[in-house]
């Protein structure tokens, strides 16, 4: 069995040696943030934008990062190397730290930081000939979805419901009936060549891959609109897709019991996927 190395508070350890206190506020209160960076060809995808989002999440919770961006980059690269990772992700979590249980946090706590890699081989070509199914459900998450916090129970319940219905991912619907995003992905639909996605606000996570797709669409003179739309509009879409750090762009061919057009990945979706992969390969670090 291949050995694995993880990171905890400056040390590179075997997973069974990496221990976090039961008094850590990340465990007790979900008082923590996380980031997930994709890895392709053994290198990191869009690292600077992941760090910008991490900085925003930490600031929103008034947590001081114990590591600089350069130190995080060194740790990410070392984990990728030690685990001989070619395609997959690096996960990092920063908690406020360890203290006696109290809703009000103490000042001067030492944050807990841990990181690990996960392999996701062959993701790049996995969905070229077929898409995935989504299952719609109510968006039960907390109000600050723009913060990448570890408060993920709403997503866990949604993705479990989707899994039990035979779907790849959940499609979350807000209290007014508008689509927000996937359980762990950003969502796009296409109608009459117009690419549409929910505008940024505290209702959705500012996805790094989402940002890249919006930018690439604009650069390639494709029509794109950041707008709100409902589930019935998705059922009537010409194409749909989801985006994520380690899954890139995945075509959606079915939502609930509705087939999207002919049930095959759309031409524009596959074009965007090709452009995205070509572009990120030029900026891997």
Residue 43 annotated as catalytic: no
Please name each of the domains of the chain with its CATH number. 6-121 (3.30.470.10), 125-281 (3.20.10.10)
8 A C-beta contact, residue 112 and residue 92 = no
pLDDT recorded at residue 124 = 67
8 A C-beta contact, residue 149 and residue 120 = no
pLDDT recorded at residue 60 = 97
The tokens describing 223, both together, are 């029509």
Q: Which of 282, 268, 221, 211 lies closest to 240 in space, CA to CA?
A: 268
* Active-site choice (148, 191, 193, 203): 148
User: pLDDT 10s digit of each residue in the chain, 285 long?
Assistant: 468 999 999 999 999 999 999 999 999 999 999 999 999 999 999 999 999 999 999 999 999 999 999 999 999 999 999 999 999 999 999 999 999 999 999 999 999 999 999 998 777 677 777 899 999 999 999 999 999 999 999 999 999 999 999 999 999 999 999 999 999 999 999 999 999 999 999 999 999 999 999 999 999 999 999 999 999 999 999 999 999 998 899 999 999 999 999 999 999 999 999 999 999 999 999
pLDDT recorded at residue 133 = 97
8 A C-beta contact, residue 90 and residue 117 = yes
Under the phi-then-psi rule, with left for phi > 0, alpha for psi from -120 to 50, and beta for the rest, what region is 170? beta
């Amino acid at each position: 069995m291949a050995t694995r190395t993880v990171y905890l508070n400056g040390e590179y350890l075997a997973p069974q040696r990496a221990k976090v206190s039961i008094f850590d506020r990340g465990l007790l209160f979900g008082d923590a943030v996380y980031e997930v960076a994709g890895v392709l060809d053994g290198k990191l995808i869009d690292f600077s934008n992941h760090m910008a989002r991490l900085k925003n999440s930490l600031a929103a919770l008034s947590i001081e990062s114990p590591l600089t961006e350069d130190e995080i980059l060194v740790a990410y690269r070392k984990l990728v190397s030690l685990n001989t990772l070619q395609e997959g992700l690096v996960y990092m979590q920063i908690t406020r730290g360890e203290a006696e249980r109290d809703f009000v946090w103490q000042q001067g706590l030492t944050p807990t930081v841990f990181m690990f890699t996960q392999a996701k081989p062959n993701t790049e070509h996995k969905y070229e000939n077929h898409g995935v199914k989504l299952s719609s459900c109510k968006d039960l998450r907390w109000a600050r979805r723009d913060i990448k916090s570890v408060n993920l129970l709403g997503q866990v319940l949604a993705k479990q419901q989707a899994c039990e219905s035979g779907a790849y991912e959940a499609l979350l619907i807000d209290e007014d009936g508008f689509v927000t995003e996937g359980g762990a992905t950003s969502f796009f639909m296409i109608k009459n060549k117009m690419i549409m996605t929910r505008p940024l606000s505290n209702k959705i996570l500012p996805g790094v891959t989402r940002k890249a797709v919006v930018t690439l669409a604009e650069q390639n003179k494709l029509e794109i609109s950041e707008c709100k739309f409902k589930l019935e509009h998705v059922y009537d879409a010409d194409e749909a897709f989801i985006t994520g750090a380690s899954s890139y762009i995945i075509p959606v061919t079915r939502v609930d019991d509705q087939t999207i057009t002919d049930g095959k990945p759309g031409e524009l979706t596959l074009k965007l996927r090709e452009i995205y992969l070509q572009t990120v390969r030029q900026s891997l670090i």
